[in-house]
Amino acid sequence: MNKALIKTDFHFPGQKGVYHGKVRDVYNIDNNLLVMIVTDRISAFDVVLPRGIPYKGQVLNQIADKFLDATSDIVPNWKIASPDPNVTAGLMCEPLKVEMVIRGYLSGHAWRQYKMGERSLCGVMLPEGMVENQKFPEPIITPTTKAEKGHDEDISKEEIISGNLVGKEDYELIEDYTRKLFGRGTEMAEDKGLIMVDTKYEFGKKDGKIYLIDEIHTPDSTRYFYFDGYAERLTAGLPQKQLSKEFVRQWLIANGFQGKEGQPVPEMTDEFVNSVSERYIELYENITGDKFEKSDTSKINNRIEIAVTEFLMQ
């Protein structure tokens, strides 16, 4: 088995603190820069699963790196450099208190709500008579609150503005950015024979300016279908062939786990862990069009420490 990066505990030059998220460990450097290390941890239903997925962090980091560069003409982003395959370093911004989810198709959470009879999602009215994975007439924006712990909650544009989570002017700007980013991502996916189904974006502010922050268009934040066979599967009522983390959620559901109290996480066998790793690599190669080059994971913590320290000392 290749080694997975599960935990980091670095002490970089100028380090002021560290935040350990579900997947990312974010180091504060001099209250000015962030060093984001994308680990191989994997979460589903807001629970970090007990085993890491080799190369997952590298896949996520390098896809986000590519798309941050490919969308910097639409919105300024936080990235300065990627000193290691698992690391992005960039500007420290104050995160806005919402995540901008945009959906082109009725899938995942939206479908689960729809199937239960809901016809309004985050204040957006959904058409009657839709089927799972059907394309919306126009992409819809369904924001969520950013929960420190536990589940993010659906929220409407009106609730965001009236609750002063984000000011009206800033919200309208990030909504515009969200639509344009999704449009660019959709075009890039189509070019590779994929459909971008839904995704989420996070934004922050620094010196009064809004930046795109965190990751974008990775399989942790984005659902992709294969274009080939989509229409046939939709007509036949069959599940879509997809590249996203949804297959992990479906595996958990099938094995009796949805993150509810008292539910044990199913055993993650070596075979399952390897299959998830292969799916992540498959998505990387499909969405980027590049062959995935596996980094040396034998001393991954040491490798990262050296690369980041050299970057910070420049």
Give the Cα separation of 255 and 249 in Å (integer).
10
pLDDT at 243: 79
Give the Cα separation of 9 and 29 in Å (integer).
14
Q: What is the DSSP letter of 77?
A: B
Beta strand extents in 11-143 (DSSP E only)? 15-20, 24-29, 33-38, 43-44, 47-48, 79-84, 87-91, 94-95, 98-105, 120-121, 124-125, 135-141
Nearest-CA neighbor of 11 among 311, 309, 310? 309
Asked if pLDDT for residue 181 goes beyond 70, the answer is yes
pLDDT at 244: 73
pLDDT, tens only, 143-165: 999 766 656 799 999 999 999 99
Q: Give the number of C-alpha atoms closer than 13 A to the C-alpha of residue 223, restricted to the C-beta side.
A: 20
pLDDT averaged over the chain?
Answer: 94
Q: What is the DSSP letter of 127?
A: P
Q: In terms of DSSP bridges, do strands 98-105 and 242-243 run parallel, antiparallel, or are they unpaired? A: unpaired
Judged by average pLDDT, the poorest of 5-14, 138-147, 302-311 is 138-147
pLDDT at 164: 94
Contact between 291 and 285 under an 8 Å Cβ cutoff? The reply is: yes
pLDDT at 246: 77
38 CB-contact burial (10 Å; exposed 0-12 / middle 13-18 / buried 19+): buried
Contact between 257 and 265 under an 8 Å Cβ cutoff? The reply is: yes
The set of residues, in sequence order, having a beta carbon less than 8 Å from that of 253 and lying 6+ positions away, is none
pLDDT, tens only, 273-302: 999 999 889 889 999 999 999 999 999 999
pLDDT at 106: 98
**Average pLDDT, stretch 212-221?**
91
Which residues on adjacent β-strands are paired with residue 154? 144
What is the percentage of the chain residues whose pLDDT exceeds 90? 89
| pLDDT band, very low/low/confident/very high, at 209 (cuts 50, 70, 90) | very high
Contact between 229 and 222 under an 8 Å Cβ cutoff? The reply is: no
Multiple choice CATH, 95-243, 1.10.8.50, 3.30.470.20, 3.40.50.970, 3.30.1050.10: 3.30.470.20
Asked if pLDDT for residue 184 goes beyond 70, the answer is yes
What is the percentage of the chain residues whose pLDDT exceeds 70? 98
- Give, for 276, the enclosing helix (H) or strand (E): helix 270-288
pLDDT, tens only, 47-105: 999 999 999 999 999 999 999 999 999 999 999 999 999 999 999 999 999 999 999 99
Q: Give the number of C-alpha atoms closer than 13 A to the C-alpha of residue 85, restricted to the C-beta side.
A: 17
Asked if pLDDT for residue 189 goes beyond 70, the answer is yes
Which residues on adjacent β-strands are paired with residue 21? none
Q: Give exposure, 59-73, as e/b (b: 16+ Cβ within 10 Å).
A: bbbbbbbbbbeebee
Asked if pLDDT for residue 1 goes beyond 60, the answer is no
pLDDT at 18: 98
pLDDT at 2: 74
pLDDT, tens only, 15-37: 999 999 999 999 999 999 999 99
